[in-house]
Structure 1
């Protein structure tokens, strides 16, 4: 089956592109399935160290596919749950998976598109970017973990305001409130994301994996954080990348990490 999602690899970076530009890349059932399929494939590829998420045609996504809402036969809670499942799994892998995820966002990033972007490790927006969480305007709650991820970026009060009003947020405000990490000229977000991915090469992949896992647990206590550290650090100290990092430091050269 062909999904409206593309994946290509440039060096050690997988670029996953939502590819239904004529309709602003809506999150149809096929788009959801394709996103999860390509993301899992990128995670399984040992040559891939970083994943970039982006959209075709100058937009990320307009959010839910309105054509698949309010179908004949009336409300169907079971179908609603089924449609959420691939996106929920995707969100778990973005936030807590073993590889860093960069969102390269141009144009519209609405609804679950905002949820995906907010959960990414680094968010770059073109200066034409527009975010929105208008779930309440169609009588729904924010989904795909946005109530978890958005407050981590912009704080609880601002997150409430964006979700309770559904108002759009453009590039300048998005940068000022911390919703995006960097704004670049329109059309260059992907290039900037590739440059950011190159910066990650100086850090051992398993170290990033461990720190991502710790960030997902950030709602716990200091004792919880220290307990996780006691699990992770001894294991990392036994890796080949740790030995390589020490050797590179002593030899005054750049390390060559291999993720093991």
Structure 2
């Protein structure tokens, strides 16, 4: 059996590829456990600075409906296991770019929204298909989608279950880049290389803060004081200041 998740390296950028093409990458235990394992492993590799998540011709068709008839307790247990994949994307130090082609439906939409940035082409279809199935949005979509598109648009998407594509997805901020067909992966990798060139401590800190939204002003101010005090004594900050003064690109070492 082929591996459910493949990893390729492009310098400091890791390309993570979902690999169930015959099922349009529908999430099953092999796939979501593979994603959890891969993302957890990448967090511990100091040479990796950014991740691109993709699925080939079809990003992810949603959850594999073959497991939806399991008893309630077993189904809940599998949901909790699957949620670890989303946690590993949102909660890790690495910026993650979703390179979305084909479809991102249901849990596939949730997985894309868990990423920090989303690149798609004009034909890519996004759909919170849950109301058509009699289910609630899962894998964190009730948290992530409103942060991207706002409460009103999130409510519309999650209650009507209509398909959003291309320019419409860009206009409502569901995606960050709408590019010509065949250039999604290239664009996402270019973004990953750009992110890999900036201070990794800053990226990790910003991700950690945003994952805790909403926070009160007092909480944010306290967090930034604590975090800034740590980063201001890092070697990367020293390198950033030196590079700025010397009018050159910095060489950050994640220290």
Note whether the superposition's TM-score is higher than 0.5.
Answer: yes
Separation of aligned partners in 2, 1:83 and 1:168: 27
Structure 1's consecutive aligned runs of 4 or more residues displaced over 4 angstroms after TM superposition are none
- Corresponding position of 2:155: 160
In structure 2, what is the equivalent of residue 232 of structure 1? 227
Match of 2:60 in 1: 61
Cα offset, 1:91, TM superposition: 1.7
Corresponding residue of 1:143 = 138
Separation of aligned partners in 1, 2:226 and 2:101: 39
Aligned-pair Cα RMSD in Å? 1.4
Partner of 2:24: 24
Residue 137 (structure 1) shift: 1.6
3-state secondary structure, aligned to 1:155: helix
Change (3 A) 1:2 1:59: closer
Correspondence for 2:8: 8
Alpha-carbon separation, structure 1, partners of 2:83 and 2:152: 24
The aligned residue for residue 133 of structure 1 is: 128
Secondary structure (helix, strand or coil) at the match of 2:7 reads strand
Aligned residues of 1:36 and 1:86 also touching (Cα < 8 A): no
Residues 1:2 and 1:42: Cα distance change in structure 2 (over 3 Å): farther
Q: CA deviation at 1:90?
A: 2.0
Q: Deviation of residue 126 (structure 1)?
A: 1.8
SS of 1:97 mapped into structure 2: coil
Long gaps (5+) in structure 2: none
- Equivalent positions of 1:169-184 (< 5 A) are 169-184=164-179
Residue 119 of structure 1, aligned match among 114, 122, 128:
114
CA contact (8 A) 2:68 2:75 kept: no
88-97 or 189-198: bigger deviation: 88-97
5+ residue gaps in structure 1?
none
Is 144-153 or 246-255 further displaced after alignment? Answer: 246-255
SS in 2 for 1:223: helix
Q: 2:82 aligns with which of 81, 87, 92?
A: 87
Distance 2:194 2:5 in 1: 26
**How many residues were matched structurally?**
255
Could you give the per-residue CA deviations for residues 136-165 of structure 1, whole angstroms, max 9, x where no partner exists?
222211001100000011110110111111
Q: Secondary structure at the match of 2:97?
A: strand
| Correspondent of 1:108 among 85, 91, 103 | 103
Q: Secondary structure at the match of 2:15?
A: strand
Q: Structure 1 residue 2: deviation in Å?
A: 5.8
